[in-house]
Amino acid sequence: MRVLLLGGTAEARALAAELTPDVEVISSLAGRVPNPALPVGEVRVGGFGGVDGLRQWLREQRVTAVVDATHPFAARITANAARACREERLPHVVLARPAWPPGEAIQVGSDVEAAEVVARSGLRRVFLTTGRSGSAAFADVDAWFLIRAVTPPDDVELPPRHQLLLSRGPYHYDDERRLLSDNGIDALVTKNSGGDMTRDKVDAAADLGIPVIMVQRPPLPPDVRVVATVDDAAAWVRAL
């Protein structure tokens, strides 16, 4: 049995460790983050060349099942994997960590909508944590941004007034609260990534009375099987 594990998340690394050595796992990383944390076992880095390229790769590698444990906002590879597995008649499951309860957050459908909310609200100092590609939507917004990202947003137009904070989670509540307070932040813009690694910024903002603008997740492809935990994904693989 050979499983393609579409990864890049903590859940994917945990699943690879859980299944190895009983199952032959090939973990696939997109390759956008330098020096990523690597899972145990075989690892490939880079894209597949769309649905057709993925289908060919699955056949050549004699893959018998696919687990999609990518980031909740990795919509393209999730859609491509669902279609490729359907066309190849391969067992396929999505490991999707539960979303955060929105609470009193302002929910929006995209980075562009989040930027419109910031502009309309007259917010002046914004903590922006939507990733390097999401920063471009705020390029024309008249506010100061503290932009946190793992790597610099190369080839992306940034707001004229900003400060880059390059770091990689997990983050902790006391540090997040101090960061918000020390920088006079009056709004947090984040994606609803779910999980524990970056949740504390949302809790700290709520406790400080700072508005949270939360980008909702893209919908999953129709008719895909979804599990919420690493244990559930491992059980699904073993049941095959």
Least confident interval from 20-24, 146-150, 167-171: 167-171
Whole-number percent of the chain with pLDDT over 90: 87
User: Based on the domain organization, do 206 and 110 belong to the same domain?
Assistant: yes
User: Based on the domain organization, do 76 and 15 belong to the same domain?
Assistant: yes
User: Based on the domain organization, do 234 and 203 belong to the same domain?
Assistant: no
- For residue 150, how far is the Cα from the chain centroid? 12
User: Based on the domain organization, do 37 and 129 belong to the same domain?
Assistant: no
Range of the domain at 22: 2-98+218-239
User: Based on the domain organization, do 77 and 53 belong to the same domain?
Assistant: yes
Q: Which residue has 């947003």 as its token pair?
A: 153
Task: Give the separation between CA 6 and CA 223, rounded to whole angstroms.
Answer: 19
Residue 219 binned pLDDT confidence (cut-offs 50, 70, 90): very high
User: Based on the domain organization, do 74 and 168 belong to the same domain?
Assistant: no
Cis omega (within 30 of 0) on the bond before 102? no
Task: Give the separation between CA 14 and CA 40, rounded to whole angstroms.
Answer: 9
User: Based on the domain organization, do 180 and 224 belong to the same domain?
Assistant: no
Residue 224 binned pLDDT confidence (cut-offs 50, 70, 90): very high
Residue 7 binned pLDDT confidence (cut-offs 50, 70, 90): very high
User: Based on the domain organization, do 77 and 131 belong to the same domain?
Assistant: no
Least confident interval from 46-60, 65-79, 102-116, 154-168: 154-168
Look up residue 143 and give its amino acid: A
pLDDT of residue 52 exceeding 90, the answer is yes
153 near 135, Cβ under 8 Å?
Answer: yes
Q: What is the mean pLDDT of residues 196-202?
A: 93
CATH number at residue 118: 3.40.50.720
- Cα angle 36, 11, 98; round to 5: 130
Position 197 scores a pLDDT of: 87
DSSP assignment string, 125-188 = EEEEES-TGGGGGGTT-SSEEEEEESS--TT----SSEEEEE--S---HHHHHHHHHHTT--EE
User: Based on the domain organization, do 64 and 150 belong to the same domain?
Assistant: no
Q: What is the mean pLDDT of residues 127-147?
A: 92
Give per-residue pLDDT as tens, 149-166.
988 877 788 999 999 999
User: Based on the domain organization, do 188 and 210 belong to the same domain?
Assistant: yes
Whole-number percent of the chain with pLDDT over 70: 100
User: Based on the domain organization, do 36 and 58 belong to the same domain?
Assistant: yes
Tell me if residue 48 falls in helix, strand or coil: coil
205 near 178, Cβ under 8 Å?
Answer: no
Task: Give the separation between CA 8 and CA 33, rounded to whole angstroms.
Answer: 9
pLDDT of residue 34 exceeding 90, the answer is no
User: Based on the domain organization, do 117 and 137 belong to the same domain?
Assistant: yes
pTM above 0.85, yes or no: yes
How many domains does the structure of the chain reveal?
2
Task: Give the separation between CA 82 and CA 222, rounded to whole angstroms.
Answer: 9
Q: Which residue has 């696939």 as its token pair?
A: 28
180, HSE (Cβ side, Cα atoms, 13 Å): 26
If one counts every other C-beta atom within 10 angstroms of the C-beta of residue 149, the result is 20
